[in-house]
Amino acid sequence: MDPISNMFTKIRNAAAVKKEAVEIPFSYVKYEIAKILKENGFVKEVDKRGRGTKKVIKVVLNYKEGEPVISGIKRVSKPGQRIYKGTREIRPVKSGYGLAIISTPKGLMTDKQAKKAKVGGEIICEVW
């Protein structure tokens, strides 16, 4: 299974049962995605724990009035079907209420940052 999809499924399931935090096996890409989610207020805290092969990412979920801030998270570009977009093809997610995480030559960034930097790339996911 795709490790990034697995991360999104763990976050989605934890939010559905109103769990406070979730632990995800560590990788640098997943850690960068989690940091972007934190910067945009979708999760409260992101912490790297453990050593060697036992490293995990602890993601503390954010709730507003008892409801999770992340109402939806969807993997767009999958290992079997990669989706690439140029700067002009990047569209707002949920009329600007959500965000897309894009893997660009300048690193992982949100759709707004990618448009501002005038770079395109692989659309990793959409969050709203």
Q: Could you write out the DSSP letters of every residue in 23-40?
A: EEE--HHHHHHHHHHHHT
Q: What ranges do the domains of the chain cover?
A: 3-68, 76-127
CATH number for 3-68 (one of 3.90.190.20, 3.30.1370.30, 3.40.50.970, 3.40.50.720): it is 3.30.1370.30
Q: What mean pLDDT do residues 83-100 have?
A: 95
The pLDDT of residue 114 is 97
> Is the backbone of residue 70 left (phi > 0), alpha (psi -120 to 50) or beta?
beta
- Assigned CATH topology for domain 76-127: Dna Ligase; domain 1 (3.30.1490)
DSSP state of 60: E
- Is the pLDDT at 82 greater than 90, yes or no? yes
Percentage of the chain lying above the pLDDT 70 cut:
100
The pLDDT of residue 52 is 87
The yes-or-no answer to whether 3-68 and 76-127 have a common fold is no
**pLDDT averaged over the chain?**
96
